Amino acid sequence: MDETPKHSLAYWLVSILLLLLVLGLAVQAYFMYTLSQKLNIVNQNNASTTDALTTLSSTTISRFEENEKKFVQFSDMLYEEQQVTVALTDAVDKFKRQVGKLTGTVDTLEKLTTTDPELLQKYSRIYFLNEHYKPADLSLIEEKFDYVNGKEVTISSEVLPFLSDLLEEAEDDGVDLIVLSGYRSFTEQGTLKNVYTTNYGVGANRFSADQGYSEHQLGTAVDFTSTSIGENLSQFEHSEAHTWLLQNAHKYGFVMSYPENNEYYMYEPWHWRFVGTKLARYLDREAKNFYDIEQREIDTYITSLFD
Ligand SMILES: [Zn+2]
């Protein structure tokens, strides 16, 4: 008798459960494997990303360092260039100063060669003007400042602006100041002296210079007067015009040649000579007379005569 084994329900149930368990384990194992594979890939990816980042950052740093070096080099170059510029500017300044000094020297030399040394000479019995001496250029004094209308009064063209300023200033101050005479030639001076000598004899020597001794021949000396005084020069000393001249003439470069008690001529309060503003101011400040200082001291003012 074929005995068919009879399996109980429990047997089948257990068998199915076991089968399911085995299947479940297999599925789980498969998933675990797949997951681990994926994790590996992710890890590998991560590693390469980190490598890439490391490489990138090191490249960046080296580039940055390179740029920094370049910047330092550039700054150094710039600094050197600045130093060169400073040195160049200094050199140019120095050169300019030297040129300036040279120009100044040339100006002084030019003035020395073009300014007539006679214009600051003291005239005495030993030193006098040549009969042929004539100022380089003469100009007419403005007519309103002439004593005699129509009679031409001339003066050195270089002195004229100073004299005009003086006369204008006096006029502005309400002072009656005009010019009686200016330039006189050697011949004119001789004729004048002869007239005086005829009238006054040897006494004329006291107030009239001989030919060649007169400052009027220089063209830089003038005899001032007032409209009310005219040719009566003896009255000039007490005039308002004279007081004004004593206070102001030096500002325009004029000095009184023959003050009281001088050793050359009689007192001539009307006779003023142009010696330049620098020397005139110096004489006024020191209360000195032109004829009382040494010729070599006077000569130092020749280059600034018309300044
Ligand atoms: Zn005079």
Asked if the structure places residue 104 within a domain, the reply is: yes
Q: How much of the chain exceeds pLDDT 70, in percent?
A: 88
What distance in angstroms lies between residue 208's CA and the mean position of ligand 1's atoms? 8
Residues 6+ apart with CB under 8 A from 291: 122, 257, 258, 262, 263, 264
Kindly report, residue by residue over 115-148, the tens digit of the pLDDT. Answer: 888 899 987 666 777 778 889 899 999 988 987 7
The average pLDDT across 164-186 equals 95
Length of the chain: 307
Give the pLDDT confidence score for residue 241 in this predicted structure. Answer: 97
Same domain, 41 and 124: no
Q: How far is CA 279 from the centre of its chain?
A: 24
Query: The domain containing residue 102 runs over which residues?
Result: 12-114
Asked if the structure places residue 252 within a domain, the reply is: yes
The average pLDDT across 237-247 equals 97
Same domain, 156 and 83: no
What distance in angstroms lies between residue 223's CA and the mean position of ligand 1's atoms? 5
What distance in angstroms lies between residue 286's CA and the mean position of ligand 1's atoms? 24
Give the pLDDT confidence score for residue 128 in this predicted structure. Answer: 75
Distance CA 257, CA 129 (A): 17
Same domain, 129 and 270: yes
What distance in angstroms lies between residue 80's CA and the mean position of ligand 1's atoms? 71
CATH number at residue 131: 3.30.1380.10
Distance CA 120, CA 46 (A): 106
What distance in angstroms lies between residue 222's CA and the mean position of ligand 1's atoms? 6
Higher pLDDT, 147 or 291: 291
Asked if the structure places residue 6 within a domain, the reply is: no
Per-residue pLDDT band for 8 (boundaries 50, 70, 90) equals confident
Give the pLDDT confidence score for residue 91 in this predicted structure. Answer: 86
Distance CA 119, CA 305 (A): 9
Same domain, 75 and 158: no
Asked if the structure places residue 25 within a domain, the reply is: yes
What distance in angstroms lies between residue 176's CA and the mean position of ligand 1's atoms? 19
Q: Which residues pair with 140 in a beta bridge?
A: 154
* Cβ–Cβ < 8 Å for 215, 236: no
Same domain, 100 and 178: no
Higher pLDDT, 244 or 22: 244
Total of domains in the chain: 2
Give the pLDDT confidence score for residue 149 in this predicted structure. Answer: 59
212, pLDDT greater than 60 = no
Question: What residue type is 196 in one-letter code?
Answer: Y
15, pLDDT greater than 60 = yes
* Cβ–Cβ < 8 Å for 145, 167: yes
Same domain, 161 and 249: yes
Give CB contacts under 8 A, 24+ apart, made by 199-205. Answer: none
65, pLDDT greater than 70 = yes
Asked if the structure places residue 41 within a domain, the reply is: yes
* Final residue of a structural domain among 86, 114, 142: 114
* Residue 81: exposure state from Cβ atoms within 10 A (0-12, 13-18, ≥19): exposed
* Residue 307: exposure state from Cβ atoms within 10 A (0-12, 13-18, ≥19): exposed
Cβ atoms < 10 Å from Cβ of 297: 11
| Highest mean pLDDT, choosing among 82-86, 119-123, 252-256 | 252-256
Asked if the structure places residue 264 within a domain, the reply is: yes
Give the pLDDT confidence score for residue 164 in this predicted structure. Answer: 97
Asked if the structure places residue 5 within a domain, the reply is: no
Distance CA 164, CA 145 (A): 9
What distance in angstroms lies between residue 183's CA and the mean position of ligand 1's atoms? 9
Same domain, 253 and 273: yes
Same domain, 256 and 146: yes
What distance in angstroms lies between residue 84's CA and the mean position of ligand 1's atoms? 65
What distance in angstroms lies between residue 217's CA and the mean position of ligand 1's atoms? 10
The average pLDDT across 246-275 equals 93
Q: How far is CA 55 from the centre of its chain?
A: 66
Beta strands in the chain (DSSP E): 138-140, 154-156, 178-181, 221-225, 254-256, 271-274
Residues 6+ apart with CB under 8 A from 123: 129, 209, 213, 214, 215
Calculate the CA dihedral of residues 162, 167, 173, 178 and round it to 10 degrees.
150
Whole-prediction pTM value?
Answer: 0.65
3, pLDDT greater than 80 = no
Kindly report, residue by residue over 194-203, the tens digit of the pLDDT. Answer: 666 666 665 5
Tokens of 281: 């101011």
What distance in angstroms lies between residue 121's CA and the mean position of ligand 1's atoms? 16
Same domain, 138 and 93: no
94, pLDDT greater than 80 = yes
* Final residue of a structural domain among 77, 96, 114: 114
* Cβ–Cβ < 8 Å for 229, 239: yes
Same domain, 264 and 234: yes
| Highest mean pLDDT, choosing among 105-114, 138-147, 267-276 | 267-276
Q: Is 156 helix (H, G, I), strand (E, B) or coil?
A: strand
Tokens of 78: 């710039």
Distance CA 58, CA 54 (A): 6
Higher pLDDT, 253 or 125: 253
* Final residue of a structural domain among 61, 84, 114: 114
Same domain, 141 and 285: yes
Asked if the structure places residue 2 within a domain, the reply is: no
Beta strands in 75-216 (DSSP E): 138-140, 154-156, 178-181
Distance CA 145, CA 152 (A): 11
Q: How much of the chain exceeds pLDDT 90, in percent?
A: 39
* Residue 119: exposure state from Cβ atoms within 10 A (0-12, 13-18, ≥19): buried
The average pLDDT across 152-163 equals 95
Give the pLDDT confidence score for residue 5 in this predicted structure. Answer: 63
Per-residue pLDDT band for 306 (boundaries 50, 70, 90) equals very high
Distance CA 276, CA 55 (A): 89
What distance in angstroms lies between residue 123's CA and the mean position of ligand 1's atoms? 13
Same domain, 183 and 78: no
